[in-house]
Structure formats: C-alpha cells, structure tokens
Structure 1
Amino acid sequence: MKTSALRTLKSLLTASLSAGLMLAAAHAQAQSPAQVFRVSAIPDEAPTELQRKFKPLGEYLEKKIGMKVEFTPVTDYSASVEALINKKVDMVWFGGFTFIQAKDRSKNQITPLVQRAEDEKFRSVFITTHKDITKLEDLKGKTLSFGSESSTSGHLMPRSYLLAAKINPDTDLKRIAFSGAHDATVAAVAGGKVDAGALNISVWEKLVGEKKVDPAVVRVFYTTPGYYDYNWSVRTDMNADLKKKLSDAFLSLDAKNPADKAILDLQRASKFIPTKADNYTAIEAAAVNAGLLKK
C-alpha cells in the first residue's frame, strides 16, 4: 500500500476514533445527572454543621448504592419539603412535622424509610437563664424563642405542651420569636435576647457536651414527654431496588464497628430502625390542634 494511502487510512481511523470518543463522552455527560443521588436536610442547625455531619454518611451511602451522593443544602424548612416533592433532591432528613407537611403537600406520595432509635421517644427542652422561671406557667408575660416555625421539636411540640398547660403562646406571652435553628435558640437565650427558649434535647445535649453552653447559667426547666420525630424520607415512586439498598444501608450501621460508630455518633444515633407514616399520626393531630396544619 502506498504511503499516501496509509496516511489517508490513518487519518480516517483517527477521525473515527475521535468522533467515537466525543460521542461516548457526550453520552456519559448526558447520563451523569441520573447517577447523582441528591440528599438534603431541614436546616435545624448551621449549614456548616449539617455538611460536617453528613460527609461520612454520604461516603458510606455512595458505596452501598453505587451512585455519587451529594448533599444539597436548603434555605429553610419549607424549601426541604418543596425540593423533595419537586424532584430536586431524592432523600431528605425531615423532622416529624416537616414529614407530615411533605406527606400532605404531595397527597401521600412521601415515604419515611428509617429513623434513629432515639426518634421513637424524642423530647424537647425549655431553657432559661432566669431563676424565677421554674415551670411552664412561669412563662406568662415573658419572651420566648422557638426554632423554625416548621420545626417539630423546636416549635410544634413545645407549643403543644404549652397549650396543654393552658398557656397560649400568642396571647399569654409578652413576645414570641423564631430563631430558625436550635443552636440559634440557645444563643438567643444565653445572650439575653429572650427570657426562655424551646429546642430539641439532642442539640441541647450536644452543645453542653461540647462546652458551647454552660448549663449552670442556661438551664433546662422543663422537658417534654416523648414523641416520634426525625426520619429519612423519599418519594413513594422511588425505584424499589434503590429504596431497599438505602434502607439496608442505614439498618446495617453497627455501633460495634468503629467506622460505623463514627457515622452514627455524628448523626447522634445509637442505630437506625425502620419507620412508617402511621408513627406520625400524633404529630399530625398536634399540628391540626395547634392550628399549624389545616385539614
């Protein structure tokens, strides 16, 4: 074969190979979004803290489901609901009330997968720096901070127990505020911006443990009875195989395994257990009774 013919053949082969590689790259690029599993969470703590807590869990889930896992922060509680319903994310860490809102907004198209064992009997605490506040009734005429308006443990359930104690936060208190997050509630109480605050017991214990708050100065004066709270939720129409892989991944986390324990500790969990929508009927009833959910 003549040299010129060889060169022509080589050029054709090179062009063909380049075209093939370009098509393959374009196809991979087109397919890649479907291979990303997006996760979010209600912003009940600072964004940097949420990212820090999720990183090891995200890496663990990547191995278990065989997909790239990305954490997608949201601006507020309602945004987490809308993100899941509108398929902007695939799984969300909801509080009990946010789950009820998502279930209601989606017409029962949201499924809770797992919860921490601690979420079967979750509790809220009321805190203060004032010596004259020792019970819920002492809050009359005082200022109080909740967390987010859509928070189960930072608003709905504390409001519920106030109402049960014959205290209407909207009329019997001097002023109520919404800090937006549990750690911000503690800061508001410690800084004297409000007389008292309500938040979830898990964040309170974490802040005390990390010595970010002095319990001799800011103290708990009331702890609520237990109720169901947080869970990891997905859309009901999620692929059944993927749903099972996710559930199995969470349920397989074992505190006896050091790597797993590190993940569980960041999630403030002893272990994960299965959950179901029926577990949250009391939360739904409380939300309706408190006027926070219309039926």
Structure 2
Amino acid sequence: MPPRRKLFALTLTLLLAGLPAAPALAADVFRVSAIPDESPTELQRKFKPLGEHLERKLGMKVEFVPVTDYAASVEALVNKKVDMVWFGGFTFVQARIRSKDGVEPLVQRAEDEKFRSVFITPADSGVSKLEDLKGKSVAFGSPSSTSGHLMPRSFLLAAKIDPDRDLRVSFSGAHDATALAVAGGRVAAGALNISVWEKMVAEKRVDPEKVRVFYTTPPYYDYNWTVRKDIDPALRAKLLDAFLSLDPAVPADKQILDLQRASRFVPTKAANYASIEEAARSAGLLK
C-alpha cells in the first residue's frame, strides 16, 4: 500500500476508535403498552413488577409506553410503535381488523375466560333492574371499552333498551372514573368491569353501602396480551413462557399476579373473541 494510503487508513482507524459506541438498536428494547382503562399512575404501578419479570425472562430492556386513549393503543401496535399491548376484547378485534390480521392474542388471565361487567347506582336511587334506567343518565368508560361499554351496551339492547334513545349517555374514559362519577352523584348509574369494581371496594375507594351493584352481566371473553405476528418466534416463545411460568406459590410471582388481578395466565387465541366481534357489529360499533 502506498505510504499516503497507509497514513489515511491509520488515521481513519484512530478516528473510529475514538467514537462513542453506536446507540442500541430498537430491537434491543421490548415496548409494551396498555389500554388506559385506569389512571396512568395505576397502570404504571401495576406494570412495574411485571416489566421487571419480563426483562429477566427476555434478556432485554422492557419499556412501558403510555397512550392517551384506547384508539391510540390500537394504532401503536398496528404501526409497530410497540410490540405488545394489554387489550380488552373489543380493542383486540379492532387491532386485528386494522392490521389485516397482523396481530394475535398471546395470553389472557384465567379470569378473562368468564369475565363480567357490573351496573352500579347510588344505594338510594331506587334503580333495581336495567329497565329502571330509561330516561336516566348512565356513564360508560371509553367508547372502545369491552367491559365498560360494548358488552354492557349489548346486554341493554338485549333487554330492549336502546342507550342512544332511552338513556342520557356519557363516557368517563375509564372504569374507575365511572365508579367515582356514580359515587359523586354526577350520574344515576354506570357500567364498569367487575375486576375494577371489586378492587375499588377492597381499597375503600368506593363505599358499597353508598354505591351498589344492581346488575351483573353474563360471562364473556375479555382482556388479553396481544403481540404483533411479525415478532421473532424465539422471542415470542420466551414471552409466552414468561407469562405461563408465573406461579402463585412463589411470593414474587404472586405479587405480579395480584397486581394484574390474575390467578394465573393461560394461552388464548383469536377465535375466543369472535363473539365480541359479533356483539360489536350488532351494536353498530364496528362497520
């Protein structure tokens, strides 16, 4: 090599050696989000131990990415801004359709095989059945919520009550906000998922002597952790094992399961949510 070229090569090598290391590739971070069915601080609190567990199992950094509303959680997964999302049954259906079948549910809580919603009202309201709601103000969660809107709406329709015609409907945005709206007397009744209701009662955020459940829906499939179908198969296998290996007999695992309101996680599949899609189409919420 001519002396001038040798000098250039040596200079280039020294310059490159002095450069900082390249930033980690996006693939080195596993990004997770969730529908905002509770307050942002509560979602972060619930996810922290699970995120640390996933980091150990996956061998990579796990980052929680909050979103502003249900639609944003769907778009984040469809547009590959995140790798996994905690969806309700309806938001999973929306994401599957938006992605042209590019996403799949991975696991659900055992409780999600027979999930339920509750309708609540102030203890002294005189409301005792769904038909008593006609003409009254009723709060749902998000318009895209399975347990806070879609399924309660479908059971109202089955009872010959058209929410758009027979009720004064409002949307609180989240299950806990619905319960607080009823407790605060801002609406005559509200619909929310049974898990959040039971948690709020246990935490004394609502007083069951002042706010009562007057209707509990029949069971249906609901929440799941959904992933993109294009994630690496080996990573998917690790992820599945991370959830299925959580053991309630192990104290650290039990803490994670308790925060997720789960006895355990089980595999799930898209076919489990066919009835949710049917209900959404029947209610006119899915075109």
Q: Which TM bucket (shorter chain)? A: over 0.9
1:238 deviates by 1.2
In structure 2, what residue type is equivalent to 1:245? K
- Equivalent positions of 1:213-228 (< 5 A) are 213-228=206-221
Tell me the TM-score normalized by structure 1. 0.92
Residue of structure 2 aligned with 1:20, choices 17, 22, 26: 17
1:292 aligned partner: 285
Q: Deviations over 1:174-233 (max 9, x none)?
A: x10000000000111011110000000000000000011000101000000100000000
Structure 1 residue matching 2:25: 3-state secondary structure: helix
Counterpart CA distance in 1 for 2:197 and 2:84 is 26
Q: Secondary structure at the match of 1:22?
A: coil
Give the whole-Å Cα distance in 1 for the aligned partners of 2:15 and 2:222: 55
How far apart are 1:55 and its partner, in Å? 0.4
Structure 1: how far apart are the matches of 2:278 and 2:12? 67
- RMSD (CA atoms): 1.5
**Which of 245, 260, 276 lines up with 1:267 in the alignment?**
260
Paired letter, 1:277 = A
Name the amino acid aligned to 1:168: D
| In structure 1, distance between residues paired with 2:147 and 2:61 | 31
- C-alpha displacement of 1:17: 6.0
* Alignment correspondent of 2:63: 70
One-letter amino acid of the counterpart of residue 94, structure 2: Q
Indicate the structure with greater helix content: 1
Indicate yes or no: 2:161 matched with 1:164. no
| Alignment counterpart, residue 132 of structure 1, candidates 115, 123, 126 | 126
Asked whether 1:181 is paired with 2:169, we answer no
Inter-partner Cα distance in structure 2 for 1:109 and 1:32: 23
Q: State how far apart, in whole Å, the 1-side matches of 2:11 and 2:97 are.
A: 58
Q: Which amino acid aligns with 1:268?
A: R
Structure 2 residue 140 is the aligned partner of structure 1 residue 143: no
The aligned residue for residue 10 of structure 1 is none
Q: Which residue of 1 aligns with 2:30?
A: 37
* Letter aligned with residue 249 of structure 2: K
Q: How does 1:245-256 map to 2 (within 5 A)?
A: 245-256=238-249
Amino acid at match of 2:141: G
Q: How many residues of Structure 1 are paired with residues of Structure 2 in the alignment?
A: 278
Q: Which residue of 1 aligns with 2:89?
A: 96
Retained in 1: the 8 A contact 2:125–2:188?
A: no
Aligned mates of 2:46, 2:209 — CA distance in 1: 28
Find the aligned partners of 1:278 and 1:269 in 2 and give their Cα distance.
Answer: 22
1:6 aligns with: none
How far is the alpha carbon of 1:148 from its aligned partner? 0.2
Report the residue type matching 2:127 in the other structure: I
- Report the TM-score when normalising by structure 2: 0.94
Question: Per the alignment, do residues 282 and 32 of structure 1 end up closer, same or farther by CA in structure 2, a change over 3 Å counting?
Answer: same
Q: Distance in 2 between matches of 1:146 and 1:282?
A: 20
* Aligned mate of 2:98, from 101, 105, 108: 105
CA distance in 2, matches of 1:78, 1:222: 28
One-letter amino acid of the counterpart of residue 169, structure 2 = I
Alpha carbons of 1:14 and 1:236: their partners in 2 closer, same or farther (altered >3 Å)? same
